[in-house]
Amino acid sequence: MGCRSTLILKALQGLATMPAMSKQHQTCLVCGERLEEPHVYGDRLYCETHLSQFSDDLAALWQTGLLILLSLAVLVGTIAIANAVAPNPSGPTRLLANALVIGLPSIGWLILITQRLDGEDGAAPSLVSALFVLGSLMAAAVVRPLTNEILALGGRLAATSPANRFVANVLILGMLHAFVLYGIVRYSVWRTTSFSLRVHGVLYASAAGLGYAATQVGLFALERGGLSMLSGGLTLLTRALPFATASLIVGYFLGINRFENQPFYYLPSGVALAGAVCGVLLYAGTELNNIRLNITTDGFSPWPGFVVNVLALTIAFGAVYGLLQRQNTITKARLRLRG
């Protein structure tokens, strides 16, 4: 833990004192080795090894991601069955059920991915875990106090119109969440030797995002003394998915920008896009659930928001996967052309 803390500190210090790259100090972007004849790609300098490696894929990432996405269906089925058996358990049972709903996809993914990372792909399982924890800590120690206590957004959002709620979700909450997810990766692992593949952006951002999401919704459930089985369980997932989606987008942009010099607005655009998507999905996750109120319908259903957010995550997952594959293919093609 001490080493990880040092890493973060150094990374943050490095931000302030980072020297400019110059021809006198030509080093590999990934490993930092001094280069006599550097390879240039996208205005970045690489050693030969890393030039050929950074566009490699990380199949484990997509496989575990897909597995988690598919496991959501199983989880929802289990929730539905549990709801039929005990729709509204009380006390510790509720919290335990909520913890399982939150923990199975997030910690499950973490265990799977750390098991699958073998070291040869450049990523460190320990860093993945560290980012998961960092995301979790940021959510608990910084973001929730900021949004709930200082900005008091919960009560104020409730008291305003849907349009204002949408704007606030996008401009305040979405941007904040996206920035925090971006910051966690950007100011820790982004400039280290362990960020050696484009897909590592998605890997590390996903780790941070899942830790962040699990803690956000975990505390949400804890503050309410545990949520009901079906509505509560689905809502926990619904509220967690926007963070996962935002982390995929942030990870993609960080991954691209890490290995190719991009215009200055590239990363801000990526973060803004992630923030907007996160905000829209947070809004949709709550507002779409407010259905018609009548004598026989109670004005709420946990399904619409959940379905929309699952679809959004799936689309984001597919898009990021597709775009990264495309980028990597192009890169490899260009490198082959160079000989």
Partner 1 sequence: MSSTTRLQGQQGLTSEAPAVGRLISHVTKSDRFASISVIVVVIGFMSVGLLLRARDSSSTWLYSNRQAGIEARYPAEWLVDEQGDYVARMRDPVARPFKTQVLIDTVPAADNTSVRNILDSLTLQRSAELSAYRVLAVRDSTLAGVLVTEMDFAFVDTDPDPFVQRVPVVVEGLDIVIIDNTRVIVLTYMADTETFEDEFDTFLDIFASLSY
Partner 2 sequence: MMLNHPLRTKTLTALLIVILMSLSLTAAQAQDRLDDLRLVNAQRATVFLMQTYDASGTQALSCSGSGTLISNDGLILTNAHLADPVGPCQGERIIVALPIRLDEPPVPKYLAQIVQVDHQLDLAVMRIVASLDGSLIEPNSLNLPFVSLGDPSGLLPGNALTTIGYPSLGAGGVEAVEQTITAITAESSSGDKSWLRVDTPLPGTKSGGGAYDLNGRLVGIPTGMPGTDGSERGPECISINDTNRDSLIDLRDSCVPIPAEVTAIRPVRPALPMIEAGRNQFELATFRGTPPAPPIDPPLIERMLFSTAVNEQGQVTRLVSKLPSGARNLYMAFSYQNMVTGIPYEIRVSRDGADLPQFSLGPLSWGGGRNGTWYVGFEDQQIPDGSYEFTIYLFGQPEASASIVVGGREEEPIFSDIRLGIADPSGNLINTGRVLPSEVPQIDAVYQVENMAEGQTWTEVWYFDTVEVSRNTFVWSGPPQAQSRSIAVNSGGLRAGRYRVELLIGDRLAAFGETTLAGPPTPDRQSAIFSNARIASDISRDGEPNGVVGQVMPLDVQSLYLFVDWDLMPTNTAWTYRWFLDGRLVASRTQRWNAGSVGENFWVSLSADDPLPEGSYAVEVLVENRPMFSQSVTIGAGTQPTSGIEGEGDEVFITGTVVDALTGDGIPGALVMVLNVEFESPQFTWNEEDILTQAITDREGRFALARGLARANFFTMYVFAEDYITIIEDNFTIFSDQESPADILVEMSQP
81 binds partner 2 (CB under 8 A): no
8 Å CB contact between 285 and 246: no
Three-class SS state of 40: strand
Indicate the residue among 195 and 317 with the shorter CB distance to partner 1: 195
Answer for which of 38, 183, 232, 275 binds partner 2 (CB under 8 A) is 232
| Residue 208 Cβ vs partner 2, minimum distance, rounded to whole Å | 24
Task: Identify the DSSP state of 149.
Answer: I
R_g over Cα of the chain: 21
| Pairing outcome for strands 44-46 and 39-41 | antiparallel
Indicate the residue among 103 and 299 with the shorter CB distance to partner 2: 299
Three-class SS state of 39: strand
Three-class SS state of 121: coil
One-letter amino acid of 93: T
| Part of the chain binding partner 2 (CB under 8 A), chosen from 54-62, 195-203, 207-215, 219-227 | 219-227
Site string (102-141) toward partner 1, x via CB under 8 A: -----------------x----xxxx--------------
271 binds partner 1 (CB under 8 A): yes
Determine the angle formed by the axes of helices 125-137 and 200-223, rounding to 10 degrees: 40
Answer for which of 52, 71, 262, 314 binds partner 1 (CB under 8 A) is 262
Answer for which of 192, 215, 228, 235 binds partner 1 (CB under 8 A) is 192
* Interactions with partner 2, residue window 91-150 (CB under 8 A): none
> Which tokens in the block code for residue 213?
């999401």
Q: Distance between CA 82 and CA 87 in Å, rounded? A: 7
* Interactions with partner 2, residue window 271-330 (CB under 8 A): 286-287, 289-290, 292-295, 298-300, 302
The interface partner of residue 151, options being partner 2, partner 1, none and the CB cut-off 5 to 8 Å by kind, is partner 1
The interface partner of residue 10, options being partner 2, partner 1, none and the CB cut-off 5 to 8 Å by kind, is partner 1
Query: Between the CA of residue 295 and those of 125, 226, 298, 303, what are the distances in Å?
Result: 53, 28, 7, 20
The closest of 7, 11, 52 to 28, measured between CA atoms, is 52
| Residue 298 Cβ vs partner 2, minimum distance, rounded to whole Å | 4
Query: Across the strands, what pairs with 243?
Result: none
Indicate the residue among 17 and 294 with the shorter CB distance to partner 2: 294
| Residue 85 Cβ vs partner 1, minimum distance, rounded to whole Å | 30
Q: Distance between CA 331 and CA 336 in Å, rounded? A: 9
| Residue 230 Cβ vs partner 1, minimum distance, rounded to whole Å | 26
Q: Distance between CA 265 and CA 262 in Å, rounded? A: 8
Determine the angle formed by the axes of helices 59-85 and 200-223, rounding to 10 degrees: 20
Indicate the residue among 101 and 139 with the shorter CB distance to partner 1: 139
Binding site for partner 2 (CB under 8 A): 88, 153-155, 157-159, 165, 169, 224-228, 231-232, 235, 286-287, 289-290, 292-295, 298-300, 302
